[in-house]
Amino acid sequence: MALEGRADSERRTEVELTADHNFTLAAGRLGLSADQQLLLRTPFREVKVAVPVQMDDGTLRVFAGYRVQHSGARGPAKGGIRFHTDVSIGEMHALAEIMTWKTALVDVPFGGAKGGIACDPSKLSLAEQERLTRRYVSRIHRFIGPFRDIPAPDVNTNEQVMAWILDEYSSRHGYSPACVTSKPVELGGIRGRSTATGTGIGMVLAEHLKARGRSIRGARVAIQGFGNVGANAAAFIEQHGGEIIAVADVNGGILSSGSRPLRVPDLIEHVRLTGSVVGFPGAMSIDNDELLALPCDVLIPAALENALTESSAGEVRASVIVEGANLPTTAGADRILRSRGIDVIPDLLANAGGVVASYFEWTQNLQQTQWPRQKVNRKLQSYLVRAYRSVRKIAEARDMSFREAAWLIAIERVARAESLRGALSTVKERNR
Ligand SMILES: NC(=O)C1=CN([C@@H]2O[C@H](COP(=O)(O)OP(=O)(O)OC[C@H]3O[C@@H](n4cnc5c(N)ncnc54)[C@H](O)[C@@H]3O)[C@@H](O)[C@H]2O)C=CC1
Ligand SMILES: O=C(O)CCC(=O)C(=O)O
């Protein structure tokens, strides 16, 4: 059965195909019918808006803005907002769906959403970015809100963008700090959210290495992407005795020379000053393909989707991959990595620290309280370790990859919620 109204001829993007593959495998293991699968996968709502913005030079440009709400079965939709030239409806579908399974896996009471604007923020002034954000919110504000859909940062957005969202939304609906997460602390943000995704990657990695009788101490780590997620993961790993031997960003990569690893605080300062990891004093230049193929213990793709493809997966020499980015591994690459015995900690689990801390921020805002950073980090660890252990248990018991186990747990939880709310039982009735 196909979704009516969607042009079936519409070509699915690579990320949608990856999500199709992961979903179909897990749904098959769960024995879900075709109707049940269709219901669980079809986005609840997709919004596309024109975002007209006056540029600093007086000209007008109209950008395409999107917000896809994949599911609200377990709570308000939740997910980041991305500013990038590649933003498209297909990409938003896949990323919104990933959020549904991620929030279910770590068991926070949210559904899944993702939004974005197709633009190149590096070519926009701060004032243009502010007008763009405000106009986007003016077009989607009816569809978001503390109990509908709560945005957060993603690629090329940050606390400042969240502050503009809060201001624009609140000017229409009354002061609503819980309408967006990862705000500045002064506006109701929670301490530790800005670092939580990277910190969470480190926590999950530590738990995984412990389970394998190893430790972060001395582990040699390569990271693709040195923005919010990559840089904070690097900082956590360095603080726990790991060695960051190479990093790359959109401009290129660097490899530590000699036996000394890269010093993360110095590298963060270099990026602050120059805008890139490239040119870091004392390091050798490499490109992104070389980074993925470096001999190391842990590889962390923390940039964009499709980083690991069928052509690059065969070259990977790390023994563990931790998916900091969403959907960084295509279906074909995943098969190759599994056949080569490389452990892959999937995105749903590895990068869930951000949305878990967002959940803490949302509850903090609803209760009008303030959490100390230590409480955030303690609870973050307990949510992530619990999720990691549940995935490992199923993976070992049923001889599955960590990815299959994570999707299976998540889909089962959302299916159960849909069933309790009546949607899936309607499907069953019809099947009788
Ligand atoms: N910010 C968050 O809390 C969360 C982000 N994620 C995911 O993590 C990934 C990174 O997000 P952020 O760090 O927030 O974004 P960011 O905008 O802070 O950083 C992105 C980094 O990736 C690099 N990059 C971009 N294109 C690249 C390419 N083609 N090759 C190599 N490097 C490239 C950029 O130069 C930058 O260093 C995305 O997949 C995002 O969806 C996942 C969970 C939460
Ligand atoms: O913190 C959030 O609400 C969402 C973060 C996000 O977009 C993600 O996990 O991919």
Q: 63: CA distance to ligand 2 center in Å?
A: 23
Question: What's the pLDDT band for 314 if we cut at 50, 70, 90?
Answer: very high
pLDDT tens-digit map of 181-217: 999 999 999 999 999 999 999 999 999 999 999 999 9
* Ligand 2 center to 80 CA (angstroms): 5
**Which residues have C-beta atoms less than 6 Å from ligand 2?**
78-80, 99, 102, 152, 154, 181, 326, 351, 354-355, 358
Angle at 414 between CA 408 and CA 419, to 5 degrees: 120
Q: What is the percent of the chain with per-residue pLDDT over 70, rounded to a whole number?
A: 96
Give the number of other CB atoms < 10 A from CB of residue 95: 28
* 182 closest CA partner among 166, 202, 206, 169: 166
> Taking the mean position of all CA atoms in its chain, how far away is CA 355?
8
Contacts of 224 (CB under 8 A, 6+ apart): 230, 247, 248, 253, 288, 291, 292, 299, 300, 301, 302, 303, 307
pTM for the structure as a whole: 0.96
128 Cβ contact partners less than 8 Å away, ≥ 6 residues apart: 53, 55, 56
Note the helical H segments in 247-305: 264-274, 288-292
pLDDT of 1:
42
CATH fold label, 194-350 = Rossmann fold (3.40.50)
Predicted confidence (pLDDT) per residue in 85-118, tens digit = 999 999 999 999 999 999 999 999 999 999 999 9
Give the pLDDT band (50/70/90) at residue 258. confident
CB-CB contact of 262 with 284 (8 Å): no
Task: Please name which of 198, 63, 211 lies closest in space to residue 129, comparing C-alpha atoms.
Answer: 63
Residue 430, pLDDT above cutoff 50? no
Distance CA 78, CA 151 (A): 6
How many angstroms is it from 309 CA to the middle of ligand 2? 24
Topology of the domain comprising 44-189: Rossmann fold (3.40.50)
Could you tell me how many helices (H) and strands (E) the chain has, helices first?
Answer: 16, 12
- Hey, do 44-189 and 194-350 end up sharing a CATH topology, with the first three levels equal? yes
Q: What pLDDT is stored for residue 7 in this prediction? A: 47
Domain ranges of the chain: 44-189, 194-350
Question: Ligand 2 centroid to 96 CA: how many Å?
Answer: 10
Residue where the block lists tokens 């921020």? 361
Q: Check whether 225 has a pLDDT greater than 80.
A: yes
Q: 244 and 225 in contact (C-beta within 8 Å)?
A: no
How many Å is the Cα radius of gyration of the chain? 21
Substitution candidate for ligand 1 out of 83, 99, 129, 155 with most atoms within 8 A of CB: 155
Predicted ipTM beyond 0.90: yes
Count of CB atoms situated within 10 Å of the CB of 287? 10
What pLDDT shows up at residue 428? Answer: 55
**358 carries a ligand binding annotation:** yes
**Residue 255: how many CB atoms within 10 A of its CB?**
17
Q: What is the pLDDT of residue 259?
A: 81
pLDDT at 4: 53
Predicted pLDDT of residue 9 = 44
**228 annotated ligand binder:** yes
* Beta carbons of 76 and 147 less than 8 angstroms apart: yes
Ligand 1 atom closest to the CA of 277, numbered from 1: 37
Share the mean pLDDT of the chain. 95
Rounded distance between C-alpha atoms, residue 69 and residue 75, angstroms: 12
Helix axes 34-41, 423-431, angle to 10 degrees: 150
- In this structure, which amino acid lies at residue 415? A
CB 3: neighbour CB atoms within 10 A? 11
77-84 sheet: strands from edge to edge: 45-54, 60-71, 112-118, 77-84, 149-153
Strands (E), 148-280: 149-153, 220-224, 243-249, 252-256
Residue to substitute in 103, 119, 250, 358 for testing ligand 1 pocket (most ligand atoms within 8 angstroms of CB): 250
Ligand nearest to the CA of 308: 1
Nearest listed ligand to the Cα of residue 85: 1
Ligand 1 binding residues, C-beta < 6 A: 80, 153-156, 197, 224-230, 248-250, 288, 302-304, 324-326, 351, 354
Q: Please identify, by atom number, the ligand 2 atom nearest to the C-alpha of residue 79.
A: 4
**Residues 6 or more apart in contact with residue 147 via CB below 8 angstroms:** 76
* pLDDT at residue number 8: 42
Query: Which residues are known catalytic residues?
Result: 114
